Amino acid sequence: MSATATTLALKRDFLTGTEWNPKQLRDFFRLSAEMKAHPDRYRGALAGSVFVLIFEKPSLRTRVTFETGIANLGGSSIFLDHTSARLAEREPVRDIARNLERWVQGIIARVFAQETLDELAANANVPVINALSDKFHPCQALADFFTLEERFGNLRGLKLAYVGDGNNMCHSLLTIGARAGAHIRVATPAGYEPDAGVIAEAKRVARETRGKIEILRSPEEAVSGAQAVYTDVWVSMGQETEAAQREVTFAGYQVNEQLFAQAAPDAVFLHCLPAHRGLEVTEGVIDQPRSIIYDQAENRLHVEKALLHTLLAS
């Protein structure tokens, strides 16, 4: 076990990202870098451990990276497909949690409602990891800021502009970004701002880390001089009935070549994927050399391995 891993001493669940303080996040990124650079040192870290992946929503990156990461660390995984029937439809979530804790060493859940995760965690004596909910997408945000640290060397004072819906991805960028000491500007249409409680918590932490949180209306104001420009889909899974209205509302929030040109000369583009090309982002932006979307996707694997190691092996 590495000295880096032993210093984390974190809660065993990872549901929102608020479980960690700024120092723990810095330690975590050092561990992620170590595990990425020296994967062979951790091959058997989770030997004999079994994890269950419960997914109410479809997935490419999340499922493949978690299953690959578990295998890389010597563990095994069981996939439970709940895309056609949500968790509580057959039996209560608390009963599912109390059964699973008897068989597996960890639960990784991709769900519609944050409350489902909270109930799993409250009733299972094994770690529960948020692989996406309606309120947070913390594993993605870990990968995003780890990728930015690789690119720029330091996250403190890094200027990131998020343009679009104040959704779960936005919430996690605020939560992790504040702990990293970054300067986060969010531009959304009226009525689509991130959750007020998430903003308040991020601003509280940012005061400690000398970060900065700004909620704006103007995409141009948010992007001006930014080192990283981030967007996400305008219509998340479960919001399909709102698609037509959202496309009208967000039309002025597309990250196109004209908007991206207002960022810093060395700015990079990020997207958690999948992307709706031609809607929230143009082909010219997402496919340019300064787009780091596939670096983000690769780093999902490395931060998730570090997360599993932190919660179970350290």
CA 88 to chain centre: 25
- CA quadruple 175, 167, 186, 138: dihedral sign: positive
What is the rounded CA–CA span in Å between residue 266 and residue 254? 20
Q: For residue 2, what are its two tokens?
A: 């590495």
The one catalytic residue in 82, 246, 300, 309 is: 300
Identified catalytic residue from 140, 227, 254, 296: 140
Whether 131 and 57 have beta carbons less than 8 Å apart is answered as no
Q: Is the dihedral of CA 251, 254, 259, 264 positive or negative?
A: positive
- Is 232 among the residues known to form the active site? yes
State the sign of the Cα–Cα–Cα–Cα dihedral 156, 157, 163, 166: positive
| 71 Cβ contact list (under 8 Å, min separation 6) | 77
Residue 70 and residue 46 in contact, taking contact as beta carbons nearer than 8 Å: yes
Q: Is 82 a catalytic residue?
A: no
Q: Which of 183, 272, 296, 302 is catalytic?
A: 272
Query: Does 170 participate in catalysis according to the annotation?
Result: no
Question: φ, ψ for residue 254 (rounded to 5)?
Answer: -70, 135
| 300 a catalytic residue | yes
CB atoms within 10 A of CB 287: 12
If DSSP codes are grouped into helix, strand and coil, which group holds residue 218?
coil
Q: If you count them, how many residues does the chain have?
A: 314
The single residue of 26, 30, 82, 110 carrying the catalytic annotation is 110
The pair of structure tokens assigned to 292 is 């780091």
Q: Which of 61, 63, 82, 137 is catalytic?
A: 137
**137 an active-site residue?**
yes
| Cα gap 268→69, rounded to integer Å | 27
Which active-site residues does the annotation give? Answer: 110, 137, 140, 232, 272, 300
